[in-house]
């Protein structure tokens, strides 16, 4: 069975600073995807960034980047130049191949302070 662990229930950061959210996962599969989803209060969950396991290069999306360490089964999210709108629950998630079943972690509540 696949598991996803987010060890930081809550984090806070000052506006314009950088913050890193941690995620580890466990799987015996070789072909999988990793995701970070953002769930703002009372808003829809949206995809922040995606990483294919076969790609060694870390994914980046504007201010968001990941540090994917396949051997360590680690997938952290770095948010640069944090903005107030980044305040949300962040979920790390995992799926195997083309199977769209996502396995989520428990989430990290990120608060960006002015």
List residues binding other proteins (CB under 8 A). 4, 33, 35, 37, 42-47, 50, 91, 93, 95, 98-107
Closer residue to other proteins in complex, CB, 103/111: 103
78 touches 22 (CB < 8 A): no
Which residues, 6+ apart, have CB-to-CB distance to 113 below 8 Å?
12, 13, 14, 15
Give the bridge partners for 67, in sequence order: 76
Q: Please state the closest distance from residue 14 (CB atom) to other proteins, in A.
A: 25
How many other C-beta atoms are found inside a 10 Å radius of the C-beta of residue 29? 12
Closer residue to other proteins in complex, CB, 15/29: 29
Q: Please state the closest distance from residue 1 (CB atom) to other proteins, in A.
A: 10
Closer residue to other proteins in complex, CB, 18/30: 30
């Amino acid at each position: 069975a696949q598991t996803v662990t987010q060890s930081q229930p809550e984090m806070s950061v000052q506006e314009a600073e950088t913050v890193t959210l941690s995620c580890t996962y466990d799987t015996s599969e070789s072909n999988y995807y990793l995701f970070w989803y953002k769930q703002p209060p009372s808003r829809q969950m949206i995809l922040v960034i995606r990483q294919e396991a076969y790609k060694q290069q870390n994914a980046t999306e504007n201010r968001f980047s990941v540090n994917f360490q396949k051997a360590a089964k680690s997938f952290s999210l770095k948010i640069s130049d944090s903005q107030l709108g980044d305040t949300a629950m962040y979920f790390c998630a995992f799926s195997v191949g083309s199977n769209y079943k996502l396995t989520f972690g428990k989430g990290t509540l990120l608060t960006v302070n002015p």
